[in-house]
Amino acid sequence: MLKHVTAFVMSGAVLLGAASDLAWAQSAPFAPGLPQGQRPQFGVPLSGVLTLRSDVMFNESAFGRRVAQEIEAEGAVLTAENRRIEAELRAEEQELTERRKSMAPDDFRRLADAFDQKVQEIRRVQDTKLEEINRMGEDARREFLAVSLPILQEIMREAGAGAILEKSSVLLSAEAADITQLAVQRVDAILGDGRPSEDSGK
């Protein structure tokens, strides 16, 4: 049975807060790692260690949602192609079965072996296409992390933090130290969905 593609399910992104909310930062306490007199930016928790749900950051970002849509579209094309090929192979197999009644056993065996080889080659080709689609998601995640690192570093600097840890690996932490939604906001504001701008090639 030919393989089908499971599309990613992604959720929506959060819009960047209004600039007027920056007034909150004027009354906020100093972050422990910031130089004296420097106050944290609005929305950045005051913590020496920050946590991040990297999967959520990717899935909820405009970049991640765009990648999910592209993978879903490619998967739908492959699924339709697999169903068409499967129907064609079943018809060919049925025809071969009917011809068996009027063929010598050796002649039928040659045709059957050739048909089996054809099926195996088609499976190999379609499996390769599926692997390429899966690789699209993996490559996109690596690219997203690479382009997001400077943004995360800036959040860490603003918080005066010494590290950002994957939240799933942290046994206990204050909820205020989770910067996932802030990271989504910042990434969306700076990267958008990751597509080149219309005039980038001009």
- Cα separation, 184 vs 169, whole angstroms: 20
Residue 182 is encoded by which pair of tokens?
Answer: 């802030």
Cα–Cα distance for residue pair 65/62, rounded to 1 Å:
5
In a domain, 12, yes or no: no
- The pTM for the full model equals 0.67
* Domain membership flag for residue 23: no
Instruction: Report residue 109's pLDDT band, with 50, 70 and 90 as the boundaries.
Output: very high
142 belongs to a structural domain = yes
> Domain count of the chain?
1
Asked if the model's pLDDT at residue 6 lies above 70, the reply is: no
- 6 located within any domain: no
- Give domain status of residue 103, yes or no: yes
For residue 116, what are the domain limits?
37-191
Alpha carbon distance 160, 147 (integer Å): 21
Please check whether residue 89 lies inside any domain of the structure.
Answer: yes
Is residue 105 within 8 A of residue 60, CB to CB? The reply is no
DSSP 115-141: HHHHHHHHHHHHHHHHHHHHHHHHHHH
With respect to residue 7, please indicate whether it lies within any of the assigned structural domains: no
Task: Judge whether 82 lies within some domain.
Answer: yes
The pLDDT tens digits of the residues spanning 34-57 come to: 433 334 444 666 678 899 999 999
